[in-house]
Amino acid sequence: MIEVIIFGLCSAALAGGAFALMFANLRDINKYNEGKRRPMDKTPPPENPLNSNHPEVKEIKGTDELLVVNFEKDTRDPLNKSLQDRIDALNNDIEDDWDDEDDDDDGGDVVVVRR
């Protein structure tokens, strides 16, 4: 009988400790998130990049030339582009054995024959 009481007390202590740790963790996460200020979320993005809050932008003078990257333009090498086009064409011509619609059994059931 004493073993059951000791087991119950140890289980209750472990459960209490687990819930205390979870509560402390959630409380600390909430404290961390409340302390953050996000000025860029509340204001619309600046029209001029020099008006940004980014620390490196403060070092840029109005006469400095900035690098602009356009990701929409295709700047691949023509030789590489033609090679990739040929690879894509060959991949489109390959028949996939798992994609055949002709193998449809019209919803029939699978029948196991045992002898």
Radius of gyration of the chain (CA): 33
Q: Which residues contact 80 (CB under 8 A, 6 or more apart)?
A: none
Confidence of residue 106 (pLDDT cuts 50, 70, 90): low
Domain, as residue range, for 31: 1-61
- The answer to whether residue 78 sits within a structural domain is no
For the chain, the domain total comes to: 1
pLDDT in tens, 26-64: 988 888 777 665 555 555 555 666 666 777 777 777 777
91 near 74, Cβ under 8 Å?
A: no
- The answer to whether residue 14 sits within a structural domain is yes
93 near 81, Cβ under 8 Å?
A: no
pLDDT for 61? 74
Distances in Å between the alpha carbon of 96 and those of 68, 99, 101, 110, 113? 43, 5, 11, 24, 30
- The answer to whether residue 28 sits within a structural domain is yes
Terminal-to-terminal C-alpha distance of the chain: 60
pLDDT for 32? 76
- The answer to whether residue 80 sits within a structural domain is no
pTM for the whole structure: 0.30
Confidence of residue 81 (pLDDT cuts 50, 70, 90): confident
